[in-house]
A and B are shown apart, each in its own frame.
Chain A
């Protein structure tokens, strides 16, 4: 017998039938009927301006957490649900610290997205659009950066830590046709001992006198060429060079990246791992003027527990999430940043209701959960619901586009906007199911 493969799972006869079926009508089979679609369309006509949030931190749970073992506890989880500080809301016992701060968070338990494997799903989560090799779509962070612009010479959008492997994910978080101005600044892992954002401070060998000397040399060397070749590119580069000098010479910018300005106590409270330190750095960046930070401490598909799901969630994954996010909430509140910063914790999909033979859980995009808060959103509530195994959405199906629209609304951005690509295709900045425009989650406002 031949083993036929197409995709990472071996195909059975049923799979082949299903493949044709999916290809034929995946978009019209999302379970959303026409009335829903029309309602969505109608709703977008109403008030398009919203809150006054100034920044957003996306804690990205790369690999996809198991919804039933985290924000949507169910009987098919090995872990108990525990009470929270909001009556009637329970979370998994793996999140004891967050349970005490449930009033600061809202849980959406009816997220539904696309992408059976990580690249496709991360692309969808980052941009709200299905992966298309012929096109690149701007990510949420790039749109926010473009709409709100930078403040205090800070880069508008950053990813911390940057991907050292799996760089394709990083691509999905970029600006696409919005251009390099809105690409994320890629920050190395701040939990590493030798953490340094090299290009943001002049090397020690370059003193003020050296800077002056170099400027003088450059003026002489480039004068002839620039006289001969006037070019718009040169003017653009000069503008960037001017900005670069400002950034290099503005202490605020450098300091924002300097974790040594934080007490050891604070650093430990966040956790000395990549998750905690990237959240701490995210807070510093937002404080200094950055609009959007993807805190990506869970690299290497950390949450992708195809084997030993329970041990992974219990021992390795939920502790830094619980600690880091809880500390971030407390710290931001103490500094008066919480009401103007949206914080989201989400992966690219959820995990299967069943435990597989390797004691793991596999990919599950159709129903999953996330947590968000801050930025003036109404928290202490649960939105939407899944069935008894967290396998299917039973109430209030929510798309990535709806989530994006929520973020935009909270930041005062018109979520119904469309951008035109260079080839003239309109792209919704909040793209929901079936080509509809995303709708802000109304319960949050």
Chain B
């Protein structure tokens, strides 16, 4: 049924094509049996392209040059040949050059056997490629370690996570004496029980290839002539798919070798869809759209992964609105929305914009007088002006110091228990924000912190230097947005990070020492090539030991560069240079800033960059990173760009086309206010400040109370100011890399209804509503003032009238005003940034 629908659709399209073309248009095939898959793409009047390969006829200019099957040319003779495609009554052609067709490549286990194991899904992370393998048989994920795979197959034995030794009985997975009885074959064909089910049949090419390999002695064969033969990247054509349900697209996969050569891998990879409810893909690489939504198709081969984003659109909007772009952010976001036929919402109202930008730049709701002034102003440039004023405000420094304190984990216990240290560390951060210091410098100081530097203090939680692998993991997560931690005990299950890379990076943190007693201790690295004193151990003892090989590890960068140190050189200093120059660094930074403005990162979660978690807008991310570098790695430049964009300033009100969109920034999504910001906002609106009391029974904390007037975002020792409000609203403890969870919880609901924060400040002397009531303000005046303070807007006439009626119907006016104020601070409009 579905096929029939598709066929009709294809025919309809084929009739409309204005031109067709063949992909690739030019290709060189080298070696015996070399082949190339071709696509025939039709172009339509509206500029879109559709895959017509299935209905196209392909012909060779010289029929003896090779054979064409399903759009795939298998070359058999050297020379130039032209391939002509006919589809939808139109023609196009491509040129092929065939070379060395008589030359057979010598057998290579990494290339020839691992390809089968990958394509058949044997070495996927869900099967034998998992951390511990499956059923006692371990393969490296996606064949990233072919030598080890060879050993497990030919020698047998059971993999152990933290040891290089094999466990259990060594039973080879091949049988040289009776090749047909090889476990590798009888399992995959289900002649023996196999938890993974049948992988191929006895009459398949793959079965024969493995059988012949075993018969011929199961040699490892050629390494693949060194680094040049390493596949560095898998490229997929097309680079993005946007289609309607039922439509199909054949994918073309090209492997790029380190040598610069390319090869068609369309039939040598494993295909998988991230969400088969949105799009499916078959083993041969034909993708079929299922339901509207967004997903990605992954391909795997030769230890590499590639992916292509797939958008399945509903119905195309007939009249797509014209939307102007304020800057490149809008260009990127709007272009994708257009491709996906999603219309952006209208520009936000002034009140909506003001509240949002004040919360995002200063962590505060705008005071009512400010809101009133902004709403009344007719200055066409008023949004730009308010952005500049906010960027220059002391409140900006408060708020972004708070943001960085969160990320850098400023608190008492994680910073060595000594209040002075916490204060120094915080002041160091605050100074960086105030002067808008280049983030590269901040990162270098934090990663490579030595001596008495305030930034060393985060290396002394509980007065103890943490294990080097923990310190490394945190720095990489914070500054490169990558979670290498999974590679601590085993190769990363989904990524190309290996355990060796993890420990190579960890080795930079090996020589750290704490010198001197508390509270005057300093951090330093054991000087390279030095011995401190006769009774002090030699630096050899400080080297990080690899948990599997049990051998000391030399510092090694992610790209495999081993770092040599001059005498007295400090490893972390060198590492910090590398980190801040790495392309990941700027990407991770701008992605974090972006997520604070939109509630989600372009890569989300913000510190989980990996190939299986791709950016929603790769070019946008790259351009933001480029701007960040160009602007000397200063936050304000990027923040200004973001809040000045139209995309940032869109309304939260959805339209017919974009209501379901959560990731393309077609409209503003409401974000719950963070605990500290919400508490400050409640204090601002009610006019009753929170008094923060140290929840800890020790005399050394300044009188046990934060100074009067301290805002929640100004607390640098969050962990000692324990309030139920903070716990309920998801303030992170800063003991580990913080993740905020401000999502609704039962404890919040209870606190709103029965808690002190919401009940004790409704009618206090000096508070906003109480004082207005005392001064004889009318209901209307009070309603307007509270609305401006809480929502940066005036109540609508309808709202105002309804509220006045409720006040009049209350037991007395006082009670009515109290309950009104409670309702305002308990509302979702108040508790969210929208």
Could you tell me which A residues sit within 8 Å of B by CB distance? 1-8, 13, 16-17, 19-20, 23-25, 27-28, 34, 117, 119, 132-136, 155, 164-165, 167-168, 171, 180-181, 183, 185-186, 198-203, 205-206, 209-210, 213-214, 216-218, 220-222, 224-226, 228-231, 233-234, 236-237, 240-241, 243-245, 247-248, 423-425, 435
Question: Which among A16, A27, A233 is the interface contact of B744 at CB below 8 angstroms?
Answer: A233
**B827 and A233 within 8 A (CB):** no
**B608 and A423 within 8 A (CB):** yes
**Residues of chain B from 728 to 776 with CB closer than 8 A to chain A in the complex:** 730, 733, 735-737, 741, 743-756, 759-760
What 0/1 readout, one digit per residue, does chain B (160-178) give for beta carbons within 8 Å of chain A?
1111000110000000000
What 0/1 readout, one digit per residue, does chain B (550-592) give for beta carbons within 8 Å of chain A?
1000000000000000000000000000000000000000000
Q: Complex: how many Å from CA A222 to CA B736?
A: 36
Which B residue sits closest to A188, measured CB to CB?
B724
**B746 and A181 within 8 A (CB):** yes
**B826 and A245 within 8 A (CB):** no
Q: Complex: how many Å from CA A236 to CA B467?
A: 40
B796 within 8 A of A: yes
The 3 A-B residue pairs with the shortest CB-CB distance in the complex, in nearest-first order: A134-B485, A217-B823, A225-B829
Q: Complex: how many Å from CA A155 to CA B547?
A: 42
Residues of B within 8 A of A201 (CB): 754
What 0/1 readout, one digit per residue, does chain B (589-631) give for beta carbons within 8 Å of chain A?
0000000000000000000100000000000000000000000
**A34 and B167 within 8 A (CB):** yes
**A17 and B747 within 8 A (CB):** no
Given A8-B463, A228-B652, A3 and B733 touching (CB < 8 A)? no
**B473 and A198 within 8 A (CB):** no
- State which of B99-107, B184-192, B813-821 sits at the interface with chain A: B813-821
**B536 and A4 within 8 A (CB):** yes
Q: What total count of A-B pairs have CB within 8 Å?
A: 236
**B749 and A240 within 8 A (CB):** yes
**B806 and A213 within 8 A (CB):** yes
B810 within 8 A of A: yes
- State which of B10-18, B225-233, B509-517 sits at the interface with chain A: B509-517
B324 within 8 A of A: no
Q: Complex: how many Å from CA A6 to CA B696?
A: 27
What 0/1 readout, one digit per residue, does chain B (633-674) give for beta carbons within 8 Å of chain A?
000000000000000000011100001000000000110100
Q: Which of B467, B542, B659, B722 has the most CB of A within 10 A?
A: B722
**A5 and B514 within 8 A (CB):** yes
Residues of A within 8 A of B834 (CB): 225, 229
Q: Complex: how many Å from CA A97 to CA B834?
A: 61
**B464 and A6 within 8 A (CB):** yes
**A240 and B744 within 8 A (CB):** yes
**B541 and A221 within 8 A (CB):** no
Residues of A within 8 A of B756 (CB): 198
Question: Which among B162, B747, B811 is the interface contact of A27 at CB below 8 angstroms?
Answer: B162
Which B residue sits closest to A217, measured CB to CB?
B823
Q: Complex: how many Å from CA A28 to CA B470?
A: 20
Residues of A within 8 A of B320 (CB): none
Q: Complex: how many Å from CA A23 to CA B754?
A: 50
Q: Complex: how many Å from CA A131 to CA B789?
A: 44
Residues of B within 8 A of A168 (CB): 413, 719, 733, 735
B135 within 8 A of A: no
Question: Which among A24, A136, A198, A214 is the interface contact of B822 at CB below 8 angstroms?
Answer: A214
**A3 and B743 within 8 A (CB):** no
B200 within 8 A of A: no
Residues of A within 8 A of B697 (CB): 164-165
Given A171-B735, A214-B819, A221-B824, A5 and B653 touching (CB < 8 A)? no
Residues of A within 8 A of B536 (CB): 2, 4
Question: Which among B465, B470, B541 is the interface contact of A20 at CB below 8 angstroms?
Answer: B541
B486 within 8 A of A: yes
Question: Which among A25, A180, A198, A209 is the interface contact of B746 at CB below 8 angstroms?
Answer: A180
Given A23-B467, A217-B823, A202 and B545 touching (CB < 8 A)? no
Residues of B within 8 A of A117 (CB): 462, 464
Pairs A–B under 8 Å by Cβ, sample size 22: A3-B515, A5-B513, A8-B463, A13-B535, A17-B541, A24-B550, A28-B160, A135-B485, A164-B695, A168-B413, A180-B730, A180-B746, A198-B756, A209-B811, A214-B819, A221-B803, A224-B796, A225-B829, A231-B670, A237-B828, A243-B749, A425-B493
Question: Which among B486, B541, B815 is the interface contact of A16 at CB below 8 angstroms?
Answer: B541
**B161 and A200 within 8 A (CB):** no
**A237 and B754 within 8 A (CB):** no
**A220 and B802 within 8 A (CB):** yes
Given A134-B473, A201-B754, A221-B824, A25 and B550 touching (CB < 8 A)? yes
Residues of A within 8 A of B161 (CB): 435
B32 within 8 A of A: no
**A234 and B828 within 8 A (CB):** yes
Residues of B within 8 A of A203 (CB): 754, 759-760
Q: Complex: how many Å from CA A150 to CA B575?
A: 50
Residues of B within 8 A of A27 (CB): 162
Given A165-B696, A200-B754, A133 and B744 touching (CB < 8 A)? no
Question: Which among B493, B515, B753, B811 is the interface contact of A5 at CB below 8 angstroms?
Answer: B515
B494 within 8 A of A: yes
Question: Which among B515, B819, B827 is the interface contact of A213 at CB below 8 angstroms?
Answer: B819
Question: Which among A2, A134, A167, A241 is the interface contact of B749 at CB below 8 angstroms?
Answer: A241
